[in-house]
Structure 1
Amino acid sequence: MQLFWTFLKIGLFSVGGGYAIIPLIQEQVVNQQGWLTDKVFTDIITISQMTPGPIAVNTSTFVGMQINGIVGAIVATVGCILGGCVISIGLYSFFQKHQESFYVSEVLKSLKASSIGLIMSAGFTILLLTFFGSSELSSILNAHIDWLAVILFSVFLFILRKFKLNPILLMCLAGVAGFFLY
């Protein structure tokens, strides 16, 4: 029940979906509940990005599976999507009535800006975990830098930007390189 309630709150209070939900899930399952470590959570995010489907649903499913097996996966996934489904139906009705409103338009613009900030926060958290092994800024000062991860990231980012290769191909190549180097 606690797993369902946690993911229901995540689904209800996440704005922007996708990468914007990652910090909220991390706060709940790593920092508040203590169900997972930062390392396991990072692994789950990585797997969630590589599997088909929305990252929020994939992450919820994998976290639930890690915590309580198949039942946990189902409970966490339903909890995560239930709130969004109910809210979407309600918002559809609301926007049908108020589609010409200036104020509604301005609220939507502000939500877009906050979503960008949340996505940047998720990316920054993943980089910190990858390069320093922690997402806490205070512990980074004492942590060692994983120079191999920094070099791999830089090389594959350069290849992506310079040669415009398929990102999926690059993820596979980076995974193979990481397998052999780590």
Structure 2
Amino acid sequence: MIFVSLFYTFFIIGLFGFGGGYGMLSLIQTETVFHHHWLTTAEFTNIVAISQMTPGPVGINTATYCGYVAARNDGFSMWMSVLGSAVSTFALVLPSLILMILISKMFMKYMNTKIVQSVFSGLRPAVVGLLGAATLLLCNGENFSTPNINMWQFIISIFLFAATFVGTMWIKVNPIRMILYAAVAGLVLLY
């Protein structure tokens, strides 16, 4: 049954997803799109966009929407799809809850030891790699088109990507504003 698969998949992602929500995106995409085929790449991209625009952590929002769409694509009703959302969200959060309860006391005691500091120093590059992988997985033909299929959409997509990057990185435009600007530009230029 899909609900058991959703629970197991998102529990494992929650257990091994270091780096927060953005670090989990590549794991979630690999499992939901490529391994289980619950979603298409386009559906996943839309889920990520909506997850970033809605309040709350992006990883939890993505799990919630993925659970809903996976159950819906499997033929379940809207209310059963809401159960898929709840199962996915609970499963993603459960490992963190369990681990934090178990290690919070020990962490405070051993926080400043050389071993703990070394572990965190080793995890930082892995988190950067996961964020880079999530970015590269979203840079595909479905999101940017290709020059030989639709040159206009490809040029506009690359321009919006570059403008958003420059706007948030160097000009320091609020990311929420950049999302809104890109959405309006996409509607005007690509509709």
TM range (shorter): 0.7 to 0.9
Q: Aligned partners of 2:169 and 2:34: how far apart in 1?
A: 35
Give the fraction of aligned pairs with identical amino acids, expressed as a percent.
Answer: 34
Alignment match of 2:92 (pick from 57, 80, 87): 80
Pick from 26, 29, 34 the counterpart of residue 29 of structure 2: 26
Q: Which amino acid aligns with 2:155?
A: W
- 5+ residue gaps in structure 1? 134-139
Counterpart of 1:181 in structure 2 is 189
- Runs of 4 or more above 6 Å deviation: 142-145
**1:116 counterpart residue number:** 128
Query: Match of 2:55, SS?
Result: coil
SS of residue paired to 1:34: coil
| Cα distance in structure 1, aligned partners of 2:102 and 2:23 | 22
Gaps of 5+ in 2: 72-80
Q: Say whether residues 1:36 and 2:39 are aligned partners.
A: yes
* Aligned mates of 2:127, 2:66 — CA distance in 1: 23
- Deviation (angstroms), 1:167: 1.9
Q: Structure 1 stretch 90-99 or stretch 21-30: which is displaced more?
A: 90-99
2: CA distance between counterparts of 1:108 and 1:115? 10
Q: What is the count of residue pairs matched by the alignment?
A: 175
Question: TM-score, normalised on structure 2?
Answer: 0.83
- 1:162 to partner: Cα distance: 5.5
Q: Distance in 2 between matches of 1:76 and 1:91?
A: 24
Whether the 8 Å CA contact 2:42–2:143 is kept in 1: the answer is: no
TM-score, normalised via structure 1 length: 0.86
The corresponding residue for 1:48 is 51
1:14 aligned residue (5, 13, 17): 17
